[in-house]
Amino acid sequence: MTEAKTTYTEDNIRSLDWKEHIRMRPGMYIGKLGDGSSSDDGIYILIKEVLDNSIDEFVMGAGKRIDININDQRVVIRDYGRGIPLGKVVDVVSKMNTGGKYDSKAFKKSVGLNGVGTKAVNALSSYFNVKSIRDGKAKEANFSQGVLLNESGMSETKSRQGTEVVFEPDSSIFTNFKYRHEYIAKMLKNYVYLNTGLTIVFNGEKFFSKNGLKDLLENIVNQDEICYPIIHLKGEDIEIAMTHSRTQYSEEYHTFVNGQHTTQGGTHHAAYREALVKTVREFFGKNFDSSDIRKSIIGAISIKVMEPIFESQTKTKLGSTEMGDGLASVRSFINDFIKKHFDNYLHKNPDVAQSIQQKILQAEKERKELSGIRKLAKDRAKKASLHNKKLRDCRVHFNQAKKERSLESSIFITEGDSASGSITKSRDVNTQAVFSLKGKPLNSYGLSKKIVYENEEFNLLQAALNIEDSLENLRYNYVIIATDADVDGMHIRLLLITFFLQFFPELIKEGHLYILETPLFRVRDKKQTFYCYSEQEKEDAMAKLRGKPEITRFKGLGEISPDEFKHFIGDNIKLDPVMLDKDVPIESMLSFYMGKNTPDRQAFIIDNLKVEENSLEK
């Protein structure tokens, strides 16, 4: 039998223009697409790409205010900077490798250096309009999917100088998406923390920061949950803030480069952790274990680098090792700054130094007390992994070579053989793992970390996620609680959230914990099938079908067949993010939900049976 030959000629060679390539491979430019349920979904990257240009204008001393308005799916971003040079308005948003940031004198420490950002937004939008106002004149251009529809001539105007970009993400690429107020607000807060003096107004809500990273930490931790006042140090091209938490066990860091939130860290993150340990050891003259020094630390660092090198277009991890322009390495620059200024701070503030020492000694004592238990727990976890009883892993989760997790990787935490069996059979084995619980987890409220190692379920879950010491090596981007929508399922969900709040709150703070939404009803006739997530959706589906449709009420995940489950955990997956309210201390939250206040909790549950979806409407 002869093999069929595949032809390979000039006809097989095809050149894509800029917009075709972006639309065909959007992940190369904006990461994963998503539906807006995750903070790193593409629709937020689109906003960020436009905002970065406005921020760079502020950094250059042009424009102290940015207005953002989002109505449904239309985004309007208006800055009051210098405005795009009128003769280049079309080129800047539609020609690759075109922009003002190739001139290092004009944009010395900019985020967007490759001239791709707004082009990607343009190509991935069904509607895109750009308008520039300079020296009393205006020019605008309108596009759809990157194709120029029309452009105006230059006209006289009395409007304030600056640039306005209006766009709507293309629904053929971003399906069933919606913007969430919380994610946008967090992104904008980070912008103002890193650019003190800048005002951003989002749908009428004003964001402004006077104290930079100090304000950032104050916004994410409650004052009575920290061991000592936030340490805040600033220098040329560097700013740090830090404290130790009373309530959480792991490290938590917020890192930035040239105003960009590097959610996956990088060289500056590693240098920051290293320098803190070195300085503390030298100050106290003791070789404390690094894990004891960093345990419970909450820190933030921002640096400015000449022409930074990021490890992806979405700029979530810094790859640069040098500060640029012949300056010191990132590592030595950060180490020298912290060694000098943090050491000086400790000498001038002996009460803070004492609090840090007490925290380290406490961590050392707890580590030694747990050492034996931890060894036994790890051995049990390894044996359990060999038999694969609890975890059905996916093929792609954590890239050890690059020390980063796949943005698409997820793990479903579910209860019961039938439910875990359905998900296991219908999942994508490349990116989706399943962890099976046996019955209801223990109520961990008020218990010490010791219970994590002594309780088999918690120990194996911690091992599966790889979060024992920090979230740095978390194996999955999405940790998804998948339980039935009945009383027992809700209780399991609450017990799992309690476990994470008690021992790993940063998993929630950093946006990794989600609830899987599954349909309550299936409405169908011989031709059509509708899966409905509410009574209203059921009524709407019944109205669309003629005659008397068949209605099935799903009482549990195990009742949904694997073939059907593919619809709910694939491209159309619906996830509800678990978010923390900074104004409510974690201890108070846990006390209310899991403490001995049954009448109050029952009244709350009765009053809040209907859960509304998050939206931009407040």
User: Residue 183 is which amino acid?
Assistant: Y
Least reliable range by pLDDT among 108-117, 174-183, 279-288, 579-588: 108-117
The winner for highest mean pLDDT among 180-184, 372-376, 546-550, 597-601 is 180-184
Question: When comparing pLDDT for 615 and 228, which is higher?
Answer: 228
Per-residue pLDDT, 336:
93
Which residues are bridge partners to 74 per DSSP? 71
Per-residue pLDDT, 190:
93
Per-residue pLDDT, 597:
59
Mean pLDDT calculated for residue range 301-328: 65
Residue 386: which pLDDT band, with cuts at 50, 70 and 90? very low
Which residues are bridge partners to 481 per DSSP? 413, 515
Per-residue pLDDT, 199:
96
User: Residue 159 is which amino acid?
Assistant: S
Mean pLDDT calculated for residue range 268-292: 94
Per-residue pLDDT, 310:
61
Q: Count CB neighbours of 549 within 10 A.
A: 19
DSSP letter (8 states) at residue 161: S
% of residues, the chain, pLDDT over 90: 33
Tell me: pLDDT of 4 over 60.
no
Read off the tokens for 395: 């093929």
Per-residue pLDDT, 569:
84
Question: How far apart, in whole angstroms, are the C-alpha atoms of residue 475 and residue 433?
Answer: 10
- Provide the b/e sequence for 194-221 (b: ≥16 CB within 10 Å): bbeebebbbeeeebbbeebbbbbbbebb
Outline where 168-325 has alpha helix (H): 181-194, 213-220, 267-284, 290-294
Query: Cα 522 from chain centroid?
Result: 33
Question: What domains appear along the chain, each with residue ranges and CATH number?
Answer: 18-208 (3.30.565.10), 213-366 (3.30.230.10), 388-518+554-607 (3.40.50.670)
Average pLDDT, the chain: 82
Q: What is the pLDDT of residues 411-439, one digit of tens each?
A: 999 987 777 888 888 888 888 999 988 87
Which residues are bridge partners to 76 per DSSP? 69, 166
Question: How far apart, in whole angstroms, are the C-alpha atoms of residue 206 and residue 195?
Answer: 14
Q: What is the pLDDT of residues 137-176, one digit of tens each?
A: 999 999 999 999 999 888 888 889 999 999 999 999 998 8
% of residues, the chain, pLDDT over 70: 81
Least reliable range by pLDDT among 236-250, 395-409, 435-449: 395-409
Question: Are the CB atoms for 435 and 507 separated by under 8 Å?
Answer: no
DSSP letter (8 states) at residue 229: P
Tell me: pLDDT of 19 over 60.
yes
Tell me: pLDDT of 466 over 70.
yes
Per-residue pLDDT, 545:
86
Question: How far apart, in whole angstroms, are the C-alpha atoms of residue 480 and residue 576?
Answer: 9
